[in-house]
Amino acid sequence: MEIIRTPAAMTAWANRMVAAGDAIALVPTMGYFHAGHLSLMRRAKKLAKLVVVSLFVNPIQFGPQEDLARYPRDLARDAALAEKEGVDVLFAPEAAAMYPEGSQTRVAVSGLANGLCGASRPGHFEGVTTVVAKLFHLVKPRFAVFGQKDFQQLAVIRRMTADLNWDIEIVGHPIVREPDGLAMSSRNIYLSAGERQAALGLFRAIQHARQRVREGLGEVAVLLSEVREMLAATPGVAMEYVECVDEATLVPSADLAPGVVLVMAARVGTTRLIDNDKLFAEVK
């Protein structure tokens, strides 16, 4: 596996591979890999001959009171894990290389980025779409793989890709969970033992919602009331939002039907966690 540290070197490598006729699959990450990240890499290897994993803690998607400084980082550890998965290139640039002095351009998606996480994290998705746009230009992928845990992010990137006419297939990969159901996240390392148990309240709420859908519940308002009540009654969990939205438009849904996704965000201690579930994927 090759580790590339500069945008110019990344572009030069990508140009050679594309000229040779080889397709590239990109897995954008902020590093500190867990099993969820590794599953994205394995998915990418099934899509294209070459896999590039970007490892970049993107400063412009963090708000002033967020965890940029303490976000977990371990390049040597991550490189070893990526190499074991057969990744061809780990692209790990410095912030100054991605945003050189004088940089002024941002890429923004309106509408989809405004609600849910966007409501409490102003500027976050503009930071995400800007860095992903830059990665698309540098890496020249035919495929890009993103985890479905960041469901709003996935929808925003799909919209950007379609709106800008990029010939890139955006692949959403299912959430990978711990054995007890907690959605895997690099930020889970922040949780104390007690907070880790409290965080399971999000998955218990999802399990409850799945069961209610299996029972034939069709009213979103009823489901949301029950889920919010469960989370409100879970010590240590501070709800930010719980909604049922259309999977493509993120517009709130009035009825429970295929294509509706339960999305939620909450704080457990100082850690912000998100989770979601395509409720009807569980109903056969």
Pick the closest to residue 29 from 153, 113, 188 (CA basis): 153
Asked if the model's pLDDT at residue 283 lies above 70, the reply is no
Q: Which CATH superfamily is domain 2-173 in?
A: HUPs (3.40.50.620)
Report residue 22's pLDDT band, with 50, 70 and 90 as the boundaries.
very high
Tokens 């056969």 belong to 284
Asked if the model's pLDDT at residue 148 lies above 60, the reply is yes
Active site residues: 37
Asked if the model's pLDDT at residue 282 lies above 60, the reply is no
pLDDT at 275: 98
Give the three-class secondary structure for 38: helix
Share of the chain above pLDDT 70, in %: 99
Pick the closest to residue 279 from 217, 230, 226 (CA basis): 217
- What is the rounded distance in angstroms from the CA atom of residue 125 to the CA atom of residue 18? 29
Q: What is the mean pLDDT of residues 251-260?
A: 93
Asked if the model's pLDDT at residue 181 lies above 80, the reply is yes
Q: What are the structural domain ranges in the chain?
A: 2-173, 186-275
Convert 48-68 to b/e letters by CB count within 10 Å (16 or more is b): bebbbbbbbbbebbbeeeeee
pLDDT at 74: 97
Share of the chain above pLDDT 90, in %: 96
pTM (two decimals)? 0.95
pLDDT at 281: 74
Per-residue pLDDT of 87-145, as tens digits, reads: 999 999 999 999 999 999 999 999 999 999 999 999 999 999 999 999 999 999 999 99
Answer yes or no: are the C-beta atoms of 199 and 177 closer than 8 Å.
no
Please state which CATH number belongs to domain 186-275. 3.30.1300.10
Per-residue pLDDT of 34-65, as tens digits, reads: 999 999 999 999 999 999 999 999 999 999 98
Q: Which residues contact 196 (CB under 8 A, 6 or more apart)?
A: 182, 188
- In DSSP terms, which residues pair with 91 in a beta bridge? 4, 54
pLDDT at 199: 98
* Mean per-residue pLDDT over the chain, rounded: 96
Which residues in 44-168 belong to E strands, given as ranges? 50-55, 89-91, 143-147
